[in-house]
Structure 1
Amino acid sequence: MLLANQLRYFGRRDSRFVFSVLNSSSFWSLSRIVASPPTPAISINERERRRLFSLSSASGMDASPTCSLVLSGKTAAENETAKLLKRNDTLKLPDDTEISVLLHSEKDKPLEENGFRIDLYLNALSTDTFGRFLIWSPRVPSTQDVISHNFSNLPLGAVCVADVQFKGRGRSKNLWESPPGCLMFSFTIQMEDGRTVPLLQYVISLAITEAIKDICDKEGLPYIDLKIKWPNDLYVNDLKVGGVLCTSTYRLKKFNVTAGIGLNVENDKPSTCLNEALTDLSSTPYKFRKEDILAFFFNKFERLYDVFINQGFRALEELYYQTWLHSGQRVVVQEKKEDQVVENVVTIQTFACFFIQGLTSSGYLLAIGDDNQMCELHPDGNSQSMLHALLFLHCSVHNPKHEFISKCSGYRYMILEG
């Protein structure tokens, strides 16, 4: 079930709504519903946290609060930038987290043995701008923090990638533990037209799905069923394997955008991952490698981004719609009045059925009603509700022939018979 904090009839007064996705393929009972764990950012308990620290120490990673940052570049120009940043002690982290900065040529070999292989990544990279300056850390609070906190001192397209995150960023400032086996990275983008900034996450999501296809083509593999769930999640076989987060600040008439991506490549528990999806399709011993995915992502993103900036998102829409999950999905929109609350649950006033048609020019969902009335659907943004939204979307697509109401975080959701 998707959430909306606004449904705007064009030319009418704004109202507040919630909507759910419907289909009519099978049956679900409420007792079978379980919350899907966040992937690839997986919350872990204290025992697992200590195990990760132990693994970090065994692989040469420092389990102390000190964060190691290894700087590298595609060419001599980027490597000179790395030397300058180290010499001037430029890079900082929030909360005065202690860091140690190394050049790729200076690092101890054990540091990278079980981690991200920088040379493998750089050899596969063929961009002019994006991804050419690399910051790698075996363990970092958040790649998003590394990039956003040092944005003005980094070259355009600089990327930070980490093997382990312990304060990874999610929607609505959620923090997540991200274990080894996930590709977690953030990079810099600078944009001038604020109207295009909200659409950037769609270009990034599309670049990820297309990069995986490019790898499959190169290796002669079948395509895995990697799809985009609006607005910023990635799914394989109806299970979440990744997501995109973009944050921005406005300075000197430009939007400084930090784009963060998490993708579960190797962890088949507790849900699924890219390599498990590939194994289900093919007997090949080939496994997706994080280094290849990152390089192929930037190779594809740079081309798509150029089209996006020069021709607009409309030029990419057809390809985007081929990859997302929502074309023709039926939604039930439920209006709520915030001033009518009973036992902390907002009372549903009305509901109506709509069919998703695509995206509006501003990047929200475009839907049409039975009376041909067009509307624009916005995400709610409530993190706890979004977890349930993912749950209801997954369930209702497969089994809406059951009616029930669920209460969560001040809202009431209803999935009706399809």
Structure 2
Amino acid sequence: MAARELGQPRIDVGSCESTQALVDASMPEGALAVADYQTAGRGRLGRTWEAPPGTAILCSLLLKPPAERPAPELSLVAGVAIADTLERSIGLSVQLKWPNDVMLRRMKVAGCLAEARDGAVVLGIGVNVNQRSEDLPERAGSLRTTTGREWDREQLLASIVDDLGHRYSDWLDGGLDAVYEGLGSRDFLRGRQVSVNGTSGTAMKIDRQGRLVIAVGHGELLTVESGEVVYER
């Protein structure tokens, strides 16, 4: 399937509460909202996403997948696309931490948030690009702190949107299985001791339905569809 053309129409703002509020289901698929700064950026489980003005990629994209495609999988699809862009751009291996984090040298550098809305999905993406160490929370990094140089946010955003167009098209055509080669091999949690929803064990893999599989002892495997992961560093 040909890549979906995403990123138009585009809304650019200097500051907003959250780009998630700038797009809605009445817009064409592919509508993109981009901000230099968010006063109330949203992450998973009600967390905030904060970055000094002009240092991060902060955007939301409107997608309209068919009902048979599970919307939560889009966080993983977007993670694969971000990893594609970053590996090609900076030449370092990127990993994906289930369910929605992008990791570079064991530090979170990006996150994705897929919110179902009126039959559509608003996909929020945040990428730490040019923040300094003192700008970042614990266990977070940026491209700048990792590579020692600043990066062009607009070029990176264009590449992410393009890569997402390809990965989204593959997902529409064949589900998560169609992008799995970019997901399973980048599994950050595999082999780590984790705790999810009060259950501890060893993370085995992200399966082809986007679930985390955990070995909890005595040969028993637990499949987790959603939850908060705590892992041993």
- Are the aligned partners of 1:214 and 1:296 in contact in 2 as well (CA < 8 Å)? no
TM-score, length basis structure 2: 0.85
CA separation in 2, counterparts of 1:176 and 1:196?
24
1:104-143 equivalence runs, <5 A? 129-143=5-19
Give SS of 1:298's match.
helix
Aligned to 1:162: 35
TM-score, length basis structure 1: 0.49
- Are the aligned partners of 1:224 and 1:278 in contact in 2 as well (CA < 8 Å)? no
1:125-204 equivalence runs, <5 A? 129-148=5-24, 151-152=25-26, 154-180=27-53, 181-204=55-78
Aligned to 1:273: 142
* Structure 2 segments unaligned to the other structure (5+ residues): none
Give SS of 2:162's match.
helix
Measured at CA, do residues 372 and 175 of structure 1 come closer, stay the same or move farther in structure 2, by a change above 3 Å? closer
Aligned to 1:306: 169
Measured at CA, do residues 164 and 332 of structure 1 come closer, stay the same or move farther in structure 2, by a change above 3 Å? closer
Give SS of 1:130's match.
coil
Measured at CA, do residues 334 and 321 of structure 1 come closer, stay the same or move farther in structure 2, by a change above 3 Å? closer
* Structure 1 segments unaligned to the other structure (5+ residues): 1-126, 217-222, 280-285, 336-350, 398-418
User: How far has the Cα of 1:327 moved from its partner?
Assistant: 1.9
- Are the aligned partners of 1:143 and 1:161 in contact in 2 as well (CA < 8 Å)? yes
Letter matched to residue 358 of structure 1: K
Matched, 1:373 2:220: yes
- Are the aligned partners of 2:32 and 2:60 in contact in 1 as well (CA < 8 Å)? yes
Matched, 1:296 2:159: yes
Measured at CA, do residues 334 and 159 of structure 1 come closer, stay the same or move farther in structure 2, by a change above 3 Å? closer
- Are the aligned partners of 1:162 and 1:185 in contact in 2 as well (CA < 8 Å)? yes
Letter matched to residue 60 of structure 2: S
Aligned residues: 225
User: How far has the Cα of 1:182 moved from its partner?
Assistant: 0.8
Measured at CA, do residues 147 and 365 of structure 1 come closer, stay the same or move farther in structure 2, by a change above 3 Å? same
Matched, 1:235 2:99: no
Matched, 1:324 2:171: no
Percent of aligned positions that are identical = 25
User: How far has the Cα of 1:314 moved from its partner?
Assistant: 1.5
Q: Max radius of gyration: which structure?
A: 1
RMSD, aligned α-carbons: 2.4
1:209-248 equivalence runs, <5 A? 209-216=83-90, 223-248=91-116
- For residues 109-161 of structure 1, give each alpha carbon's deviation from its aligned partner in whole angstroms, at most 9, with x where no partner exists: xxxxxxxxxxxxxxxxxx7520132110011121111113xx30x22101010
Give SS of 2:171's match.
helix
CA separation in 2, counterparts of 1:186 and 1:214?
22
Between structures 1 and 2, the one with greater helix share: 1
